[in-house]
Amino acid sequence: MTRELPVSGEEQAAPCAGLRIGDVAPDFSARSTAGQVRLSDYRGRWLILFSHPADFTPVCTSEFVALAGLATEFEKRDCALMALSVDSLFSHFAWLRLIRDRFDVEVRFPIIEDPTMVICQAYGMVAPDDRDSATVRTTFFIDPLGVIRAMTCYPPNVGRSTAEMLRTLDALQAVDTAGALAPANWRPGEPLLEQPDVTLDALFSAGGQADWFMKQADEAAGR
């Protein structure tokens, strides 16, 4: 069930943190650099929701420059980007202007302000009793039905791999389309793996010892 989160002006505790893969992402409405946004408005397409510790910090700046440079790649995959931090909207604006002037990159995807940490706490990005967001660098891959399909969490001193974010998105979309499995280090165009046939007939008729549970799908999936 979708949970509606208070964002401002309401004295209410955040829902219990501890979201897991397969949970419906809690809904919220908040101010952002692209205007008022509501998470549920993104239903029908993929969404990557990610948090960063603070504006005007070196690692976060490098991430935003990299992600803005790949914005068209995410768009090709019908995937929106949405960022979040506890900084104010005006801090976000000032930071984005600096990024544009310094790196000649315009960050157009929305960056949410979460000064009360209600959204951060609801998503488990910070502990419910935490007063500092310095440890926040979390990513949620949310599918068109609003379900959390993958999550990553990095420490504040290590930036995310944008290439791995794209690869994860590609893999999730490929396995949904093919009903198959993505092996380690899979990339678009490479073979997927078939779902194991867990029957005795498949076990005893397999040509090799591992063929009944580890077999390439007939067709490669990718862009």
List the catalytic residue out of 16, 60, 79, 153: 60
79 is catalytic: no
**Residue 187 backbone class (left: φ over 0; alpha: ψ -120 to 50; beta: rest):** beta
Own/partner contacts of 147-155, CB < 8 Å, gap of 24 or more, are 147/22, 147/23, 147/24, 147/25, 148/19, 148/20, 148/21, 148/22, 148/23, 148/24, 148/25, 149/21, 150/21, 151/19, 151/21
DSSP code, position 39: G
List, by residue number, the catalytic residues. 60
